[in-house]
Amino acid sequence: MEVTTKQQQITIENLKADALTAKKCEERTVITVEQFAELVNKSFERLGKQQIELRQQLAKDFLETQQYDKQLAKIHEQESTISSLKAMIEEQKSRKETAERKVDKCAADLKTMKRINLAEATSCSFFDEVDLQTIRVPGTEAFLLPCNSAIAGEGWTVIMRKDLESNTFNRTWMEYKHGFGNLDGEFWIGLEKLHLMTKFQSHELYFKMDYVNNQMHYGHYSNFSIGNEADAYKVLVLGKYTINKGYRLCTFEENMKFSTPDRDNDNDIEHCAESFGFGFWYDTCWIDFDSYTYMDYSMQLMIRPINNIKYN
């Protein structure tokens, strides 16, 4: 019995201790809930503040986005303006090129018009400003020849033009007969055309030569005409001769026949045209000044109708 009573006392003590513990746990639990509630309230406050800040940031970002969009739109507008300006520049450039082409074409057309056969011209005599003239004389088709009014007065028809140190004139008889070269550069009229021009109308002859040592030589014959091929295009008529110097590299004599490197018609034992590589009306191969050759000078031969003499 005594043991049982002790056990009961122990059990009661344990129950009292458990009850006390339970009360303490209950008190602690109540405190924790209150604290939790406070934490929750604080969290709500923080969340509210964060929400406000977030809204403010969103509003700020929205404004910045609007400004960005405006800037972007402005950039696009500027790019569009630049593209338009580039297109205008290209258009202006194209118009300029078109205008330049038109100007060039007009210049070419004007040049061509100057070369038109005006009044069936037989020489350059009546047209002082043209650079090329259509010539028409009996016995051949119309042909173009250069004109020159700068060297010895107006109305000269250029029949030969040679550059310094040129070997363009080392040609055959047939080439000299029909003519060769470029009317805007070195050329030879052709003996047949020259024969028909001087046969149809009396002409004077003028020549100008410039040498490698800067000397200049010119001469003038008051009358000049040549025969036909059967006569080897010999000089038929020569008028009065005037010259600035006594050189004989470019002098003429009546009845002098034309020689080419492949046809010798001169009066020298040597073949002058072959030796010099140059077709001309040679008498002899002798020239009376130093050691000049036909490579050492530029030369221009011109003719003009006698009835149209106009000296500068």
- Per residue in 83-127, pLDDT tens? 887 888 888 888 888 888 888 777 765 655 554 444 457 778 655
Give the per-residue pLDDT at 279: 92
- Of 170-179, 188-197, 241-250, the least confident: 241-250
Contact call for residues 293 and 276 (beta carbons, < 8 A): yes
| Token pair for 186 | 């070195």
Q: How far is CA 8 from the centre of its chain?
A: 129
> Is pLDDT larger for residue 144 or for residue 9?
144
- Of 24-33, 136-145, 175-184, the least confident: 24-33
- Of 27-36, 146-155, 190-199, 261-270, the least confident: 27-36
Q: Can you tell me the distance from the alpha carbon of 116 to that of 102, in angstroms, rounded to the nearest whole number?
A: 20
Assess whether pLDDT exceeds 80 at residue 5. no
Kindly report, residue by residue over 169-183, the tens digit of the pLDDT.
Answer: 999 999 999 999 999
Kindly report, residue by residue over 251-298, the tens digit of the pLDDT.
Answer: 788 899 999 999 999 999 999 899 888 899 998 887 644 445 666 678
> Is pLDDT larger for residue 14 or for residue 303?
303
Mean pLDDT across the stretch 17-40?
A: 63
The 3-class SS string of 138-207 reads: CCCCCEEEEEECCCCCCCEEEEEEECCCCCCCCCCHHHHHHCEECCCCCEECCHHHHHHHHHHCCEEEEE
| Token pair for 112 | 């061509």
Give the per-residue pLDDT at 116: 45
Mean pLDDT across the stretch 193-219?
A: 85
Residue with tokens 């513990």: 21
Q: Which of 258, 194, 190 is nearest to 225 (CA)?
A: 194
- Of 30-44, 67-81, 186-200, 213-227, the least confident: 30-44
Tell me how far CA of residue 143 lies from CA of 117, 135, 160, 198, in angstroms.
9, 5, 15, 15
Give the per-residue pLDDT at 284: 85
Assess whether pLDDT exceeds 90 at residue 160. yes
Give the per-residue pLDDT at 174: 97
Give the per-residue pLDDT at 138: 87
> Is pLDDT larger for residue 47 or for residue 241?
241
